[in-house]
Structure 1
Amino acid sequence: MSVSSESASTQCAISIVIVSWNTRDILQDCLESIANQTTLPHEVIVVDNASTDGSQDMIRQSFPDVTLIANTDNRGFAAANNQGLEIAKGDKLLLLNPDTIVLDHAIDVMSGWLDAHPDVGCVGCQVFEDADTIQRTCFADPGPLNLALIEFGLYRLAPRHPLLGCPEYGDWNRDSERDVDVVSGMFMLVPRHVFEAVGLLDEAFFVYSEEADWCRRIRDAGWRCVFSPEARILHLEGGSKSTAQIKSRMYVQKQKSKMIYTRKHYGWFGALCAKSAFLCSAILRGGAFGLANLARSTPNHKAKVRLARDVIRFHLFGREPAA
């Protein structure tokens, strides 16, 4: 690991930590939007997980004021964020995805909002998928019941039902302020005193569920986690190759992280319930798509069957897919 371009600022309102992996072009757009839309004294720390697409050179050449931590291997999302948090100097700490664009001084606005709400330990802003579509960010605690509602597709039957729609707050359009269990990790603004009380992200999570765990610990410590539509960013969903590039492996990794979460916060019985939900769901889906493939073979049916097979292998034998 090497470190370059340390910020010389001693008066830093916000430290912005971005973890990247092969996201050079969208990362460049993200960094430009921060520079153009943020007037508060701030520092930007990019932790690069061994990109091979020239991301590190782009940062050094185009953004010399950005602090770059250039890892020689992919340490995962939680561990890489921790590297940035450990050297951050700001009074507030912002975790920001590289596939986002800051709009209308969003960081400045949310910093002011947080100052006016001292009982809040983590806040997220409104996120747009395109010019007209608000992304459904933030969600309920991913306990065993909510995981089962998602895995078996029950939340889709009545997304606005107070129980069935609970996992993803299906009755809420993200156009109003609301206390939430989990602030989505693409934009998480946390005051320094909260961070110092709660600590770093749990590195047991390689990717996924680390924000759920962090928010759980923030709420357990007595602070609120809140979504506020006071400001907005654009999220180029799917642009982050850390999640979109490796389909089957990352799908299994997502379930693995959720099981780590349930074991940590709901004990072994909770983890067993989550494992059972994942396994039963995969068996049902694999069987359904297998029959559909026999009736009419399509690439989509075959891919669904392979995905179900990989999930079953993981939960029965602990074998993670290579790709």
Structure 2
Amino acid sequence: MQLSVVILNYNVRYFLEQCVLSVQNAIADMEAEIIVIDNHSDDDSVLMMQQRFPEVKLIINKENLGFPKGNNVGVAHAKGKYICILNPDTVVAEDTFSKVLAFAENQTDLGIIGCKLIDGTGNFLPESKRGVPTPWVAFTKIFGLYKLFPHHQLFNRYYAQHLNENETGKVAVLVGAFMVMERNLYIETGGFDENCFMYSDDIDLSYRVLKKGKHNYYFPETAVVHYKGESTLKDEKYMKRFQEAMEFFYQKHFEKSLFFFVFIKIGIFIFSFIKMFQGKQKQKHAAEKYILYSENSILCDKLCFILKNKVELCHIKKEKMVNSSLVFRDKRIEIILDNHYISFKKCVEIFETLKDKSITFKILPKNANFIIGSDSRNDRGQIVKIE
């Protein structure tokens, strides 16, 4: 078997449904499997999986085991030569895995491959590629020096700015939302460290792979949507766990010193505070104009009633209509993409191409009764049922 896609879910039932659907499309012509591990969700994630995707291997945990152990449980059931650790709040393109595996087969001493991640508004997520957060690198991040000197090697390592977002190359750290590697290497390294509940697990695994003499790669020839706010709600628990996670990583991999300890404590507090502040930002105002990419006029009428607003139908074969509609720059526009007529790959391309601060996006997954999206990387996403 070529590939095992391992998806760890916790209380994101609708995002999980969309994710699994996108993965199924992406592995349709491959020898591959999907493994979903549910970390004791209290929504109807398990019921949805059993009813909508009975052919998918489903592992139901009786408690929340955390990100590292949950994924390790999934990989233990995997049969593929390669595994992909994938967040449930993601959307992959139909050719994502074929492109990544073709790249993997041409590498020597391969470690982990990550891809280009964008948020629900089409904007690039810089954590798609990172450097090892040594004390100095963490300092440049916390105090924003990487923004002031993006081209200076001394300051630009946190987000691996030696590569631009569309350039393939070696990086140190990849994000756990999308990681592809050989299953044997994952097992050989021990997988995610179960002593770390969450937040530094992907940094730790990336670093341990590097220490084995392997090369980690950022591969932006495919883009994946990551609705980041779903997997990380910024609250008081987040601050505490983030602090614990960073302390875990530094104590595990770096020598202890008083200066180091004080610096990290201050740095973690500042960074966590900023993250919490970002998470409490106000959401954008509701859209003033809705555009439906579809060929379904009945759906358009139904959305007009549900959204209590006029919805303009944009037929797929008349795409120029969309561009003319977007002339209304003084209005907040929401674009709704009907997956019955538009592939996930095309959805991702539209996110990137039409990204604008005045535009938001929703997707109607195929055979689903909801539209879904996220207007901010720091907040929960939005689901609108269309029953």
Query: In the alignment, is the contact (CA less than 8 A) between 1:151 and 1:278 conserved in 2?
Result: no
| Local SS of the residue matching 1:81 | helix
1:234 to 203, 225, 250: 225
What is the correspondence of 1:125-204 to structure 2 with a 5 Å cutoff? 125-130=115-120, 132-136=122-126, 137-170=128-161, 172-204=163-195
Gaps of 5+ in 2: 282-387
Distance 1:236 1:277 in 2: 29
Query: In the alignment, is the contact (CA less than 8 A) between 1:134 and 1:174 conserved in 2?
Result: yes
Distance 1:17 1:164 in 2: 35
Distance 2:91 2:80 in 1: 21
| Local SS of the residue matching 1:214 | helix
Query: In the alignment, is the contact (CA less than 8 A) between 2:7 and 2:35 conserved in 1?
Result: yes
* Structure 1 position 122, deviation (Å): 0.8
Query: In the alignment, is the contact (CA less than 8 A) between 1:259 and 1:275 conserved in 2?
Result: no
Letter in 2 for 1:33: S
Higher deviation after alignment, 167-176 or 94-103: 167-176
Alignment partner of 1:19 is 2:8? yes
1:101 to 91, 94, 110: 91
Distance 1:257 1:237 in 2: 18
Match of 1:293 in 2: none
Distance 1:199 1:285 in 2: 29
Letter in 1 for 2:44: G
1:279-303 CA distances to partner (integer Å, 9 max, x unpaired)?
Answer: 36748998xxxxxxxxxxxxx79x8
Task: From the superposition, tell whether residues 66 and 161 of structure 1 become closer, same or farther in structure 2 (CA, over 3 Å).
Answer: same
What is the correspondence of 1:259-298 to structure 2 with a 5 Å cutoff? 259-269=247-257, 273-279=260-266, 282=269
**Sequence identity (%):** 29
1:130-155 CA distances to partner (integer Å, 9 max, x unpaired)?
Answer: 57533221210012222222233333
- RMSD after superposition: 2.5
Match of 2:240 in 1: 252
Distance 1:172 1:133 in 2: 17
1:48 to 24, 38, 41: 38
Task: From the superposition, tell whether residues 273 and 36 of structure 1 become closer, same or farther in structure 2 (CA, over 3 Å).
Answer: same
Distance 1:275 1:56 in 2: 44
Query: In the alignment, is the contact (CA less than 8 A) between 1:123 and 1:183 conserved in 2?
Result: yes
Query: In the alignment, is the contact (CA less than 8 A) between 1:151 and 1:277 conserved in 2?
Result: no
Query: In the alignment, is the contact (CA less than 8 A) between 1:125 and 1:232 conserved in 2?
Result: yes
Distance 1:23 1:228 in 2: 27
Query: In the alignment, is the contact (CA less than 8 A) between 1:104 and 1:232 conserved in 2?
Result: no
Task: From the superposition, tell whether residues 17 and 284 of structure 1 become closer, same or farther in structure 2 (CA, over 3 Å).
Answer: closer
Q: What is the TM-score of this pair, normalised by structure 2?
A: 0.66
| Local SS of the residue matching 2:36 | strand
Match of 2:22 in 1: 33
Letter in 2 for 1:121: G
Task: From the superposition, tell whether residues 151 and 277 of structure 1 become closer, same or farther in structure 2 (CA, over 3 Å).
Answer: farther
Gaps of 5+ in 1: 1-11, 287-299, 305-323
Match of 1:118 in 2: 108
Task: From the superposition, tell whether residues 254 and 284 of structure 1 become closer, same or farther in structure 2 (CA, over 3 Å).
Answer: closer
Letter in 2 for 1:248: E
Distance 2:115 2:269 in 1: 34
Letter in 2 for 1:276: F
Q: What is the TM-score of this pair, normalised by structure 1?
A: 0.78
Query: In the alignment, is the contact (CA less than 8 A) between 1:148 and 1:274 conserved in 2?
Result: no
Distance 2:142 2:193 in 1: 25
Distance 2:6 2:22 in 1: 14
Distance 1:277 1:155 in 2: 18
Distance 1:189 1:21 in 2: 21
Query: In the alignment, is the contact (CA less than 8 A) between 2:239 and 2:272 conserved in 1?
Result: no
Higher helix proportion (structure 1 or 2): 1
Match of 1:57 in 2: 47
